[in-house]
Amino acid sequence: MDEELIIEVWEIFRDHVPEKTRAAAAEQFIDFLVDKDTDTDVLEGLKGYDPHLDDAIDLVLGDEEESDEDEDDGWGEEEDDEDY
């Protein structure tokens, strides 16, 4: 999905979501896009359009980066060739 289409969809729903729940709606929307394998560059390209989307993108992509780092840090892996 390209940036223009994502913004159009967000505009359609944003106006129907109460202000107090827009942050949560934006986060769910970005989570949905990530689950549908939307390219990170496309998500980053959305920044600057809507503050709720900006915050959601930072939150979701930040969580995703931390998750990737946790998988690669080597913690919790046992080495079989060392005797203690």
The encoded tokens of residue 34 equal 């990530």
Phi, psi of 62 (to 5 degrees): -65, -40
The sign of the CA dihedral 16, 17, 20, 26 is negative
Q: What is the pLDDT of residue 78?
A: 54
Q: What is the pTM of this model?
A: 0.73
pLDDT per residue, tens digit, the chain (84 aa), is 889 999 999 999 999 999 999 999 999 999 999 999 999 999 999 999 999 999 999 999 886 665 555 555 555 555 555 555
| Alpha-carbon gap, residue 34 to 67, rounded angstroms | 14
Q: Which amino acid is at 5?
A: L
62-74: per-residue pLDDT in tens?
866 655 555 555 5
Tell me which residue has tokens 């827009």: 22
